[in-house]
Amino acid sequence: MKRTLAALTTLAAAAGGILVGAPAASAADGYCTTSSGVTQGAYWTSVPTTSGGSTSCVMGPGSSGAGVDALQAALILCYGMDVGGRDGVYGAKTEAAVRSLQRATGQTADGIYGPNTRNVVEWRWYTNPGAKCDRL
């Protein structure tokens, strides 16, 4: 009985560690597969979103599409970073640029774009006439 209880306690502790270490379900709604227009007053920009329109999404190496293109535009236009061209492909240079931004803003530099990184990115905001870089 004591062995069974000890084994169950060990198993529960291990499972608890896994559950505690896992990100909350609300941390991201899915993968950024597209981009959506966002407005603030007279300004508008395009940000990565899920197919359902949520900006709480994730991208990383191997991702591609309009969401990656929107991120690359921000990294190029607002930070002057080399992402290997604005091609909509999350390659090694885009990952390195995201890591650099993460380090500069005090985040864990994992190279993955997610909600925490989205909150520190300065996006290119457009208006007639003009543009500026600012956070969401």
Residue 13 lies in a domain: no
Residue predicted with more confidence, 41 or 16: 41
pLDDT interval class at 27 (50, 70, 90): low
Q: State mean pLDDT over 71-83.
A: 97
Give me the pLDDT at residue 103, please. 98
Return mean pLDDT, the chain: 84
Beta bridge partners of 36: 47
CATH number assigned to the domain comprising residue 115: 1.10.101.10
Q: How many domains does the chain have?
A: 1
Give me the pLDDT at residue 19, please. 27
Angstrom distance (rounded) from CA 25 to CA 23: 6
